[in-house]
Structure 1
Amino acid sequence: MSAIAVVGLESAAVSEWILGLDLDARGPLRFTRAGNGKSNLTYLVTDAAGQRWILRRAPVGPRLASAHDVARECRVLRALESTAVPAPAVLAFTNDAEVSEAPLLLLAFVDGQVPGEVGLDPAACSRLTEALIASLARVHDVDLRATGLDDLAPHTPYAARQLKRWRRQWEASRTRDLPAVERLADRLEAAVPEQRELALVHGDYHLLNVIAAPGGETIRAIVDWELCTLGDPLADLGGLLAYWPQDADARAWTVPIQRAAGFPPPAKVAELYAAATGRDLDALGFWHALGLWKVAIICEGVRRRALDDERNAARTGIPPAHAVEDLIARAEVLL
């Protein structure tokens, strides 16, 4: 049976690679797009016996330097196998050009629910919020030396690195002039807090990047580690709040659910994190604003990649232009 064409993959070559691994995979293999696919492309791989795996690769077409690094994601996930952090197991990695034009990462399939994509009752939302914070605390507790991740990124102040990097990202990916983005960057630069510790930072921790048990009691896997780095752990909490479900009247592109569904307000999320980690949250307003600024730039990058090559568009479509302005407006009131 001939392989069915799928965006971003040479199905026949990739099938041959997977079938040659020690996975007891049985052909033919079927590849379908999975997840929202706003950044790296993700595929569900199913074999003739119904076994499932997850495959990751960078977006098709041109991409920004250092972005969408699947090899880096592979390194982080392998390092996390010895920790308490819930993450999918790495099964194989290849950068063989005869298999794929871009490196491929094959992961174990984790059964569960992506909270941002399913309806949850209020009790499940409460349990899930506590599980999210418990899992985030585990990320920030990772021993960098023991896992070999101590050299994953520079040990210089994280906020300055983020501002420099994401200013470049904005210039490289913007689709129009939007002075408010630069004005907010200037305000952030002037408000950078002192960095007190260095920890593993997921870099994109939110409801669409975790797989939870159906009742929300536990997080079975944290996914999408391509932005993982070393930095201030409050950056992850600020990022989580930047994506946190909004009131019913908010025009939020980031997570397609509303706080009315049962999720607690941001202040409660912060309170749970403080209780779980004992960390001082005085600088959280800065990191929340920085998180919103980054999400706005990510949103613009998603738009740019989809407009440049429609094969990169997520199944939920291209985010609207106003999403960037909305995110910047939300950040401005936090500084």
Structure 2
Amino acid sequence: MDTIQVRASERLDEVKLQSFLKRQFPDLPEGIIEISQFSAGHSNLTYCLKVGDFEVVLRRPPHGPVAKKAHDMKREFTILSALHPFLAAVPEPFVYVEDREIIGSDFFLMERKKGIVLDTHFPKGIEHSEQLARQISEKMVDSLVALHAIPYQETKLKEMVKPDGFMERQVQGWIERYDKAKTAQYAEVEALTTWLKKHIPTNSEATIIHYDYKLNNAMFSSDFSEMIGLFDWEMTTVGDPLADLGVAMSYWMQADDPKMLLYALGEPPVTILPGFYSRQEFIQRYAEKSGRDVSAIDYYITFAYFKLAVICQQIYYRYVKGQTKDDRFAQMDKMVAALIQQASKAI
């Protein structure tokens, strides 16, 4: 996964961090700490800390005010600790640090994984082919099925979650979040939210769900034969597995999607290229591999588009209010509009 020079507004205290690393890792090699930043992601901030041949990843909340219960580093660290023994793609967590004196917030450290992360293009030296695209699609489906098969009752998550009434809470909660973060009026929202409240599915099955499952949160081996990393676990909980599938499909773009959706934030993901599964093919393989009834999936996809619109709206709200100065967020309102339109069409 590519790193960039740390953004000026998101720098860390190198002296304090080096001192902390020496205390935490007695075998730390000699040398000056090098800090770079992972460019992907619009939420929590992720850094690579390097001293000699030692590398570790640091995760911290974004700067400025954040939504209640969002960006909970301790929770994400606990999730990684619970799931790493069951799924090798989950990075190994090392330590959670509550002391805000080191970098100005709490944070945690985890394993640095190295492999290939796909987003809007294939890296140099890797040629796209329909066979490769199909292989990647299959790995994405099969890894989601494997995640949903983990017995959450055997993990610490059972003490952190309330699976009963999951979708009711989700629908109501995300509508409330949208209302609090509004910066513009969209004509479709009232009809959309009314429909979502009226048609909540009654599926009572509960599994571990990633809830931010998308291609650029996954890392593959050099030959794409396996998924070796899966990242950004801050949304993870126990709930309806079809909600997870719906979220995955809201990210999984295909070539015939509206141009406004495809290009709202720049180039579309590689999933629009020939050979990648359509959303229908992805859903069908998931149904076959998991044995689940997916007949109500249209509801979950509609809700997922709305949920993603709310997340983008919350980010845009923080930008408008001056709580973040990241210029990537200046056009986020276009993505909100595109996602609300897509959700309305999905009904």
Partners of 2:209 and 2:240 within 8 A in 1: yes
1:195 pairs with 2:199:
no
Q: Distance in 2 between matches of 1:77 and 1:323?
A: 30
> What residue identity is the alignment partner of 1:326?
A
Q: Distance in 2 between matches of 1:89 and 1:7?
A: 24
Q: Which residue of 1 aligns with 2:99?
A: 96
Partners of 2:61 and 2:71 within 8 A in 1: yes
Offset of residue 54 of structure 1: 1.2
> What residue identity is the alignment partner of 1:306?
Y
Partners of 1:64 and 1:172 within 8 A in 2: no
Q: Distance in 2 between matches of 1:153 and 1:91?
A: 23
Q: Which residue of 2 aligns with 1:231?
A: 239
Partners of 1:85 and 1:139 within 8 A in 2: no
> What residue identity is the alignment partner of 2:225?
E
Q: Which residue of 1 aligns with 2:304?
A: 291
**Structure 2, unaligned runs of 5 or more:** 1-5, 123-127
Q: Which residue of 2 aligns with 1:78?
A: 81
Q: Which residue of 2 aligns with 1:280?
A: 293
Q: Distance in 2 between matches of 1:144 and 1:301?
A: 30
Offset of residue 302 of structure 1: 2.1
Runs of 4+ in structure 1 displaced over 6 angstroms?
3-6
Calculate the TM-score normalised by the size of structure 2. 0.88
Partners of 2:316 and 2:329 within 8 A in 1: no
Offset of residue 330 of structure 1: 1.4
Taking a change above 3 Å as real, the CA distance of residues 28 and 312 of structure 1, as seen in their structure-2 partners, is farther
Classify the secondary structure of the residue corresponding to 2:259.
coil
Structure 1, 146-155 or 242-251: larger mean CA deviation? 242-251
Q: Distance in 2 between matches of 1:95 and 1:287?
A: 36
> What residue identity is the alignment partner of 1:41?
L
Q: Match for 2:40 among 18, 36, 41?
A: 36
Q: Distance in 1 between matches of 2:187 and 2:15?
A: 47
1:323 pairs with 2:323:
no
Q: Match for 1:256 among 262, 268, 289?
A: 268
Q: Distance in 1 between matches of 2:138 and 2:101?
A: 45
Q: Distance in 2 between matches of 1:264 and 1:31?
A: 37
Classify the secondary structure of the residue corresponding to 2:96.
strand
Q: Deviations over 1:165-196 (max 9, x none)?
A: 21222123232233423431211111111123
Q: Distance in 2 between matches of 1:295 and 1:4?
A: 25
Q: Deviations over 1:4-59 (max 9, x none)?
A: 97715223222221222126333311112203230101112122x13322111111
Taking a change above 3 Å as real, the CA distance of residues 328 and 4 of structure 1, as seen in their structure-2 partners, is closer
- Equivalenced residues, count: 331
Q: Deviations over 1:124-150 (max 9, x none)?
A: 221111111111112111111211211
1:242 pairs with 2:246:
no
Q: Distance in 2 between matches of 1:218 and 1:104?
A: 29
Offset of residue 65 of structure 1: 0.3
Q: Distance in 1 between matches of 2:182 and 2:250?
A: 20
Q: Distance in 2 between matches of 1:306 and 1:242?
A: 23
1:313 pairs with 2:326:
yes
Offset of residue 212 of structure 1: 1.5
Offset of residue 81 of structure 1: 2.1
1:301 pairs with 2:301:
no
Structure 1, 37-46 or 164-173: larger mean CA deviation? 164-173
Identity %: 25
